Structure 1
Amino acid sequence: MRRSRLTRLWLSTAALALMTAGPGLAQTAPPSAEGARLNEYVRVLASDEFEGRGVATPGEDRTVDYLVAQFQALGLEPGGPDGQWVQVAQLSRTHQDGPATITVRSGGVTRALERGPQVLVSSDRPVSRITLTDAPVVFAGYGVDAPERGWDDFKGVDLSGKILLVLVNDPDFGAPEGHPVAGRFDGNAMTFYGRWTYKFQEAARQGAAGVLVIHDTAGAGYGWSVLEGSSTAPDFDIVRADPEAERVPAQGWIQGPVAEQLFRDAGLDFAALKDQARTPGFRPVALDGVTMSIDFGQTHANIESRNVLARIPGAGHPDETVMYGAHWDAYGRATPVGDDDIYNGAVDNATGVAGLLELARLFKAGAPPDRSVLFVSWTAEEAGLLGAEYYAANPVWPLETTVVNINMDSFLPGTEVSPQIVVIGAGKSETDGWLERRAGEQGRVLIPDPAPQAGGFYRSDHFPLAKMGVPALFGAAGFTGHNAASQDYVTNRYHKPSDEWTPDWVMDAAAVDIDLLYAVGRDLADSRAWPRWSPGAEFEAVRQASDDQRPE
C-alpha cells in the first residue's frame, strides 16, 4: 500500500511538471515560479511516508526515487557519473548501541553525568565500543590552531590520551570593543575555526582521546535542545583512509554549568580562564585531579548514500557549469517529542529541494542556457555536509570550471515577501553583486547575516566546495532574524519533529525568491563572467591556483 500511495504522489507532481516542461512553448517573458508547485513538492517530501528522509533508511530510497522521477518528468538529463542520476557517496555510519556511562572522578569521589541533559558523546571511529578510563581533563581554550592569524591554543603541549574541553565559537566572539583580541578572527561572525566540526578535527590532529565543546546558546547559535533532540540519530562521516588519525575516540558537547563544575573541582576559576583563552599567549591548562571515564557501545557499517544530480547541457559552453544545490536529508526518526519521532524537515530542507525542482522547470521552460546548469540534491548535510564533502573530493563536473554554487537551505512558508535578503557570507565574493542587481529589480535590498556568530556560511552545503575554490552564493530571504515567523521557526521547529508541512501552508513568497535565484543563475549561465572571491577571502588562493583552466 505504501508504495502505491507514493506512486500516486509522484504521478500527481510529475503531471504538473509535464504540463509546462515542453521546450516549444513561446516565451514572451521569463518563466515564473509557482507557489502551488513548491507547496506540493514540500507536502510530498515532508510527509510521514518519507519518514524524515533519513540517510540510509527507506526514507532515502523514497526520496531519491521521487527526485529522479521529477527530474525525468521535467525533461532533464542525468547529471551523475557515467550518465546516472545519482552519485554514490561512501559513508561510515555509527549509532549508539545501548546506554552510555560517563563519569567524572575528583577528590576521590566519582559521580555520573547523564547523557542527554548534561553531556552528549558519540564517535566517528568505525569500532563497536568506545572506552576511556580515567582520562585526564585539559582545558584547551578555543581549540584553535590558525597560524595565518597568529593563533595557537596548543603550544606543542602533549595532549595524547587527554579529554579536551574547548569553548565554542572563535576567540574574539563577544570581545568588548577595544579588547586586544577584537577583530583577530571575524568579530562576531563565526569563522570555520569556531565550528564544532573544526574543533573535533583539530583535537584528532593533536592526538587527544576525546573532545567536548562547552555549550552556550549565544556562542553556538542554538540551544541545547537542538543538540539533544538529534543526538539519538545515527552519526555519519565519509569513509576515511586512516580514521584513527582523523577522528578522536569520543567527541561531543557538555552543558556550560556542568563544565564549570569540573573547573571548580580542580580549584580553577572558569571565568578567569575564559579571559586567558582570549589571549594569544594562552597555553592548555590541566584540570588537576579531575579525570573522566566514557564507555558506550555502537554499531558501525560502511554504507552508501546518494547525491541526486540532474543537468541541462549548455548550448555554447557545456563544459562550464552553474550549480544549484539543496540537501534532501533531514534527521529521519530520532528522539521523540511527545509521541512524534519523525523529523519531517519541511522547512529544513524540503523547501530547498522544492526550489531546486522548480528552478529545473524554469530553466527547461526557457531558452537553452549557454553554460550547463547542474541541479544537485545533497545527502547527509545534517551529518556534517557529507554529500557535498564527497562531491568536493570526487567531482563529477570539474570544480575549476564551476562558475558558482547557488545554495538553497530553507525557505519560510507564507505570502509576505521580505524586502530584505540575508546574504550568508556577505562580502566574501563577487556573487553578491549579481544577486544585488536582480534583487533591486524586485525592490529588495541585501543585508548581511544578522546572526553571524552562528557561522551559517560554514554550516551548509556550499562550504565543502568553497574550500575547493568554487564561489558560493547563499541568500536566505525571510530569515532576517527580526520577523516573527523566522524567530518562531528557529525557536519552536528547527531540527524538531514540529518542522512539518500543514494544510495552511502557502509558498507564494518563496516563489518570488526562486524567481530571483533563477534570474541570477540565468545571468551567469548566459555570461562569460567568472565571479571571484573577494581579496583576502580564505578561499581566494585555491581559486586563483586554477585561473589558467578558466577561459576568458
Structure 2
Amino acid sequence: MREWRLVLAAALLGSAGGALAAPQFDPQRLSNHVRILGSNAYEGRGVATRAEGKTVDYLVGQFRAAGLQPGGDIVRGKRLWTQAVPLLRSEFTADPQVTVRLPDGRLLPLVQREQIAVRSPMDGSKSLAISSAPLVFVGYGVTAPERGWDDFKDVDVRGKILVLLINDPDFEATGAPLEGQFGGKAMTYYGRWTYKYEEAARRGAAGVMIVHETDPASYGWNTVKNSNTNSMFDIVRDNPRGVHTPFESWIQRNVAKDIFAAAGLDFEAAKAAARRQDFRPIPLNASLTATGTARSSVITSKNVAALLRGKRHPNETLIYSAHWDHLGIGQPDAKGDKIYNGAIDNGTGIAQLIEQARAFAREPRSDRSILFLAVTAEEKGLLGSEYYGNHPLYPLATTVAVLNTDSMGVQGPARDYSISGTARLGLLDELIADGTRQGRRFTADPHPETGGFYRSDHFSMAKVGVPAISFKPGLDLVTGGISRGEAWAKDYTTNMYHQPADEWSPQWDFTGMAQDAALLHSLGKRLANSRLWPNWSNDSEFRAVRDRTAALRR
C-alpha cells in the first residue's frame, strides 16, 4: 500500500515541481463502488429491469450525499435527479426460425446464437416474416461519395438480404499501399455495424447478415450473441424503418463460407474483391426465410443528472459522463452464470463519475457549471447519450466539453493514457498538457481499427458538435510494462467483455484509476474556471456543426 501511495503522490506532482490542482482520489472508494454495482444484487444493471431502479437510486443517493443538486428534468417547477428517456423495447417471444435455401435446393437451418444472432425487430414490426428473400453479397455495404466509394453501384437491393463484411475496406489491406480510401486500419463510421444497418434501410433492403470475424469486429462470437439476442432497444423514432430493416443479424464466418461455396464462390476471393473500388454486388443464388414473433412496447428509462452550478457563468456547462447500464440477465455461460455483471464495463466508469463529483463538491464552486451525467442504454446503441444530444438539459452551444469514462483500468498505475479513437480536437491538446504536468505521456489509441471512437457515449455528443473524448487507461503499466497491459486487455476482450465473467475481483488494483481520475479532475477544473472553448480541428467532420453556434460562445 505504501508503494501505491508513493506512485500516486509522484503522479500528482507537476513537471515544474508544483502540485496539480487535483485531490488524491481514494482507490478503496473506487473499488467499493465497482464491487457494489458489479455484484449479483444489481443483476447486471439491465435497462427496464428492476435493477435499473436500484442502480438509479444508488447513483442519486451518492450524488445527494456528496452535496450536488438535481440536474435533470423539470416537472411541475421542480428539478429532478433524472431525465426521462423513452425507448422502444422489442424481444422475441421464442427463438426465431431462419432457413437459407441454397442454389441446389438444399435447406440450411440457422440456429439462433449458434450460427446466427438475429436482433428482435426494431423497424416497428411485431413479427418477423421474411419469405424467400434473395441473398446478395455487397462487400462492406458502404456508400461514401466523398471517398469515391460505392459498393452498390447501380444495383437495386430493395427486398433483398444483404450479406456484408464488418469494418472498412482498408482493414485487411496488405502490401503497398496499406492505406486506401479509408485511411488505413483506423475504422471510420462506415465500418460500424450501426452504419451498415442504416445504409441497408435507406436502400430498402429486407435485411442484413453481417459476417462475423473476430479481428475486424474486435470481439468474438460470444460478444455478438450476448449483445444481439436479448431485448433490443432504440430511441422512439417517427420513422423507424428509415434506419432499420425488418431483419438485422450477424452470421458466423463458417456459415458465410458454406453459402458462398454453394454458389460456386470462394469466400476469401470475394472478400479480396470487396477491397477494390470496382467491386460490384454478387448474387448468391440463395434465399432466406425467417419467422418469429416479438413483443414490443415503449418504456421509459432514465439518465441520472447531478449538477454543481457555476458561480460566474452558470449557463456554461462542462459534462463528465459515463453509462450506468450493462446487459442484465441473459443466456448462461459454460459455468451456468446468467448475470452479466459489467464490473469493468462500466462499473469502473460510474465509480470514477461518482468520486469525481464528490471531489468537485468539496472544493470551492467553479466559474462554470459542471454536470455529472450517468446515461442509460449505452449497450443498446448509445441511446441515452443520443437522447441527451437531441434533448439536452443544458444548451449544447454553451456546453464546453464532454469527458467520458467507459471501462477504466484496474491493473495499477500506468506511465501513459489514451482516448478512444483518433479524434482531432483542442480538448485532446488540453488533456495532453495536463498529462505532461502529471509526469505522464499520451499514447494514441493503439487499436483504432476497433472503432472505439464510435462505441462510447462521447460519439453521441460529437455528432451534435460538442467537443468530446472518452478517456482510456494506459497500457504501459508501472508494474509489468506494455506487455502486461496488452496481455490484460486481450484477456479481458476474449474472456470477460460482455460476458458473465466481468465481475469485481479483490485482486484488482485501483490506484491507476485514482491516478486517471486526478488527471481528469485537473483538466475539468481548468476548463470550468476558464474562458476556454475547445473546438474540433479544421478538418474534423464535427467542426461545422460546432461552428454554427460560435456566436453564442463569445
The TM-score normalised by the length of structure 2 is 0.91
Pick from 151, 165, 168: which aligns with 2:166? Answer: 168
Q: 2: distance between equivalents of 1:28 and 1:366? A: 14
Matched, 1:304 2:300: yes
Pick from 37, 41, 46: which aligns with 2:33? Answer: 41
2:5 aligns to what? none
Q: Deviations over 1:435-468 (max 9, x none)?
A: 1111112221111111111100000000011011
One-letter amino acid of the structure 2 residue matched with residue 324 of structure 1: Y
One-letter amino acid of the structure 2 residue matched with residue 320 of structure 1: E
Matched, 1:528 2:531: yes
Gaps of 5+ in 1: 1-26
1:474 aligns to what? 470
Matched, 1:342 2:344: no
Matched, 1:333 2:329: yes
Q: What is the correspondence of 1:132-281 to structure 2 with a 5 Å cutoff?
A: 132-179=130-177, 182-281=179-278
Pick from 57, 63, 66: which aligns with 1:65? Answer: 57
Pick from 433, 454, 457: which aligns with 2:450? Answer: 454
Q: 1: distance between equivalents of 2:243 and 2:418? A: 35
One-letter amino acid of the structure 1 residue matched with residue 500 of structure 2: P
Matched residue SS, 2:466: coil
Q: 2: distance between equivalents of 1:377 and 1:404? A: 15
Q: 2: distance between equivalents of 1:96 and 1:417? A: 44
One-letter amino acid of the structure 2 residue matched with residue 254 of structure 1: I
One-letter amino acid of the structure 2 residue matched with residue 362 of structure 1: A
Q: Deviations over 1:248-279 (max 9, x none)?
A: 00101111121121111112232222222222
Deviation at 1:215, TM superposition (A): 1.0
Q: Deviations over 1:331-364 (max 9, x none)?
A: 0001111221011100000110010000001111
Deviation at 1:384, TM superposition (A): 0.4
Deviation at 1:119, TM superposition (A): 1.1
2:16 aligns to what? none
8 Å CA contact retained: 1:233, 1:333: no
Matched, 1:55 2:47: yes
Matched residue SS, 2:140: coil
Gaps of 5+ in 2: 1-18, 477-481
Matched residue SS, 1:51: helix
Matched residue SS, 1:98: coil
Matched, 1:373 2:373: no
One-letter amino acid of the structure 1 residue matched with residue 68 of structure 2: L
Deviation at 1:189, TM superposition (A): 0.8
Q: 1: distance between equivalents of 2:292 and 2:20? A: 63
Matched, 1:78 2:70: yes
- Runs of 4+ deviating beyond 3 Å: 27-30, 478-482, 503-506
Q: What is the correspondence of 1:408-419 to structure 2 with a 5 Å cutoff?
A: 408-414=405-411, 416-419=412-415
One-letter amino acid of the structure 2 residue matched with residue 527 of structure 1: S
Matched residue SS, 2:513: helix
Q: 2: distance between equivalents of 1:117 and 1:98? A: 15
2:282 aligns to what? 285
Matched, 1:361 2:382: no
Q: What is the correspondence of 1:15-30 to structure 2 with a 5 Å cutoff?
A: 30=22
Q: 2: distance between equivalents of 1:116 and 1:29? A: 50
Q: 2: distance between equivalents of 1:427 and 1:105? A: 44
1:436 aligns to what? 432
Q: 1: distance between equivalents of 2:431 and 2:364? A: 21
Q: Deviations over 1:43-68 (max 9, x none)?
A: 11111111110000000000001111
2:83 aligns to what? 87
8 Å CA contact retained: 1:388, 1:461: yes
Matched residue SS, 1:400: coil
Matched, 1:111 2:108: yes
Q: 2: distance between equivalents of 1:491 and 1:219? A: 14
Q: 2: distance between equivalents of 1:225 and 1:332? A: 15
Q: Deviations over 1:201-259 (max 9, x none)?
A: 11100100000111111100111111123333211111111122321001011111211
2:479 aligns to what? none
Q: 2: distance between equivalents of 1:258 and 1:516? A: 47
One-letter amino acid of the structure 2 residue matched with residue 36 of structure 1: Q
Deviation at 1:475, TM superposition (A): 2.1
Matched residue SS, 1:271: helix
Q: 1: distance between equivalents of 2:416 and 2:40? A: 33
Deviation at 1:177, TM superposition (A): 4.1
- Identity, % of aligned pairs? 46
Q: Deviations over 1:101-153 (max 9, x none)?
A: 11111212112122212111112133321011111001111111112222221
1:22 aligns to what? none
Q: 1: distance between equivalents of 2:383 and 2:20? A: 41
8 Å CA contact retained: 2:217, 2:450: yes
Q: 1: distance between equivalents of 2:256 and 2:422? A: 34
